[in-house]
Amino acid sequence: MRNARIASFVLLAAWIEASAFAQAPELKLETGEDIYKAACIGCHGPNGKGQPETTLGFEKPSQFPDFSDCNGTTREKVWPLGEMNLPRTFFTEKAFPEDEAVLTTAVNTNGLGAVSPELTYERRFGARNQLELSAPFSFIQRENRSWVGGVGDFVLGYKRVLFSSSRSGSILSLQGEADLPTGNRSQSLGSGVTTFGTFAAFGQRLPGLSFFQLMAGADLPTDTRKAPQGVFIHSAVGKTFVQSRGFGRIWTPIVEFLADRDLATGAKTNLDLVPQLQFSLSKRQHILANVGVRTPANNTAGRTTQLVFYVLWDWFDGGLKEGW
């Protein structure tokens, strides 16, 4: 009799639990708001600033995120979406404004020797703007086989995004620059003249993580007796291959096509090809490297082939020791 009562009690309890479960309303998690209210609000609070520790029941980490701060989560409410941030090439400026530092080096592989590092710092501000500072250095071999080195012409630039669309995968920007005559012209370390440059940069996402970039502009020195005016069109095509569905390392083979011409009597259009491979050094993909070769495709007399490479640090996405 006692065993029968226990069995009856267990069956009754199971029936009550099953009935309550069956009558519970089904959660509809169709939007980000629904998911947040169902799973996140307990810790992060209704306004995203975080629940007080008296409610949480534990001590919050020192870097507990504040979801109401767009700089701490995503800055893309009115900014161009991150999908428009196409891979950086060597000579075709991308349209997307960035927060990054890049050390680029070019080395002559034939003719007189030359090693030319350049440090570029880019800082984004506002929704669609970027400031840029480039500091070049050069070590050049002279005809007598001796070497000379020093700083080149510093560059100050300002970029403004005119249009971006996540639907079409397109972005268009304009940039203006001022090349300052900080280098020694007599040692071939600078032009010796202030030069203003302007260009348009266009980027287009293509299917399968492929992309196309285009840059067209002009260099306008204030004294054409020291340096000629010039025009250029640079373009690049590439495709990114990802690891772990985009959450690991990435590899991007790219080919650039360069066309440059001085606006002077008898000047010819120089064409160059630059095959290259960009790859991530960190799993977070905020530290990248690129290696390529710039080869003259015409007018090869007096023009050298160069080995080019860079290391890029997107400092907004993490420190140098993070994400490995």
What top-level class would CATH report for the domain 81-317? mainly beta
Tokens coding 283: 């799993």
**pLDDT (tens digit per residue) in 219-228:** 999 999 888 9
* Percent of the chain whose pLDDT exceeds 90: 53
Burial of 181 (C-beta count, 10 Å sphere; 0-12/13-18/19+): buried
Least confidently predicted of 115-129, 239-253, 261-275: 239-253
pLDDT at 277: 97
Tokens coding 138: 């050069």
pLDDT at 203: 96
Tokens coding 194: 């202030």
Segment holding 290, helix H or strand E: strand 287-296
Average pLDDT over residues 179-194: 89
Band of pLDDT at residue 271, cut at 50, 70 and 90: very high
**d(C-alpha 70, C-alpha 74), whole Å:** 5
**pLDDT (tens digit per residue) in 44-68:** 777 777 777 666 666 666 556 666 6
Average pLDDT over residues 71-80: 62
**d(C-alpha 157, C-alpha 220), whole Å:** 14
pLDDT at 113: 87
Show me where the domains of the chain are located. Answer: 2-71, 81-317
322 or 18, higher pLDDT: 322
Using alpha carbons, list the distances in angstroms from residue 218 to 172, 193, 264, 265.
17, 16, 13, 17
Average pLDDT over residues 283-310: 93
pLDDT at 244: 74
